[in-house]
Amino acid sequence: GAGVSQSPSNKVTEKGKDVELRCDPISGHTALYWYRQSLGQGLEFLIYFQGNSAPDKSGLPSDRFSAERTGGSVSTLTIQRTQQEDSAVYLCASSSTANSNEKLFFGSGTQLSVL
Amino acid sequence: GDSVTQMEGPVTLSEEASLTINCTYTATGYPSLFWYVQYPGEGLQLLLKATKADDKGSNKGFEATYRKETTSFHLEKGSVQVSDSAVYFCALCQAGTALIFGKGTTLSVSS
């Protein structure tokens, strides 16, 4: 597609439920990143993929969070047993390579609200 | 670990005023440095970057110089416009790692 696409754009869920967030990167981009944007916390790195493998999962806040990427394209971020502190905007970005100079293209994010 | 610290906002300016948003970093090695911008209702986008010491990145009238001696990458613009109102993020990246962002600085420009 023309840009990074994320779905849903908004998700409201009840505490304790599982949620799945989807990211469609720009076609051909091998690197894919997940970030979380919370008020007052800025952009928090969660995980990144190079192809289908995740060299760095260090940012995942707990074992309730997991992510996968299949076919070197679409990625899903799953949050199990959601808590109110999980409420945030979840941003996905992709780049053509994982080179440190490479420009990231961001999606518009998924606004997650846990009630 | 590596980190980025940028000045707290919000920064409120009148149109045509000059702007400086401070950014300092802590990193081992020689990271690439970036400024990203998030306009209201839009996604994050790259504003400018510098990949080595003394490089100057520039775009849309904004500039930032990679200063290794002071570990800084301050964002500057000589004359801001209302359309510059946005949240600005300083970031660094090292080989094999993801971008690390600062907390963001909100700029509000009034006419």
- Taking 90 as the threshold, does the pLDDT of residue B35 lie above it? yes
Average pLDDT of chain B to the nearest whole number: 94
Residue B87 contacts A where some CB pair is shorter than 8 Å? no
Q: Which residues contact B63 (CB under 8 A, 6 or more apart)?
A: B48, B56, B57, B75, B76, B77
* pLDDT by 10s per residue, chain A, length 115: 579 999 999 999 999 999 999 999 999 999 999 999 987 778 999 999 999 999 888 899 999 999 999 888 999 999 999 999 999 999 999 998 877 678 899 999 999 999 9
pLDDT tens for residues B58-69?
Answer: 999 999 999 999
- Taking 90 as the threshold, does the pLDDT of residue B16 lie above it? yes
Q: Exposure of B54 by Cβ count < 10 A (0-12 exposed, 13-18 middle, 19+ buried)?
A: exposed
Residue B94 contacts A where some CB pair is shorter than 8 Å? yes
Could you tell me whether strands B19-21 and A110-114 are parallel, antiparallel, or unpaired per DSSP bridges? unpaired
Q: A36: closest CA among A88, A74, A79?
A: A88
Q: Is residue B92 within 8 Å of residue B25, measured between CB atoms?
A: yes
> Residue B17 and residue A57: Cα distance in Å, rounded?
42
Query: Residue A102's pLDDT is what?
Result: 82
* Chain B CB contacts of A106 below 8 Å: 43-45
Q: Span B73-97, mean pLDDT?
A: 94
Q: Span B104-109, mean pLDDT?
A: 96
Query: Residue A58's pLDDT is what?
Result: 86
> Residue B33 and residue B100: Cα distance in Å, rounded?
10
Closest in A43, A98, A105 to B101, CB measured = A43
Q: Is residue B6 within 8 Å of residue B69, measured between CB atoms?
A: no
* Chain B CB contacts of A55 below 8 Å: 96
Rounded to a whole number of angstroms, the distance from the CA of A105 to the nearest CA of chain B is 7
Percent residues over pLDDT 90 in chain B: 85
* Chain A CB contacts of B96 below 8 Å: 55, 98, 100
Query: Residue A1's pLDDT is what?
Result: 52
Closest in B42, B94, B104 to A100, CB measured = B94
Residue B58: both structure tokens together: 């520039």
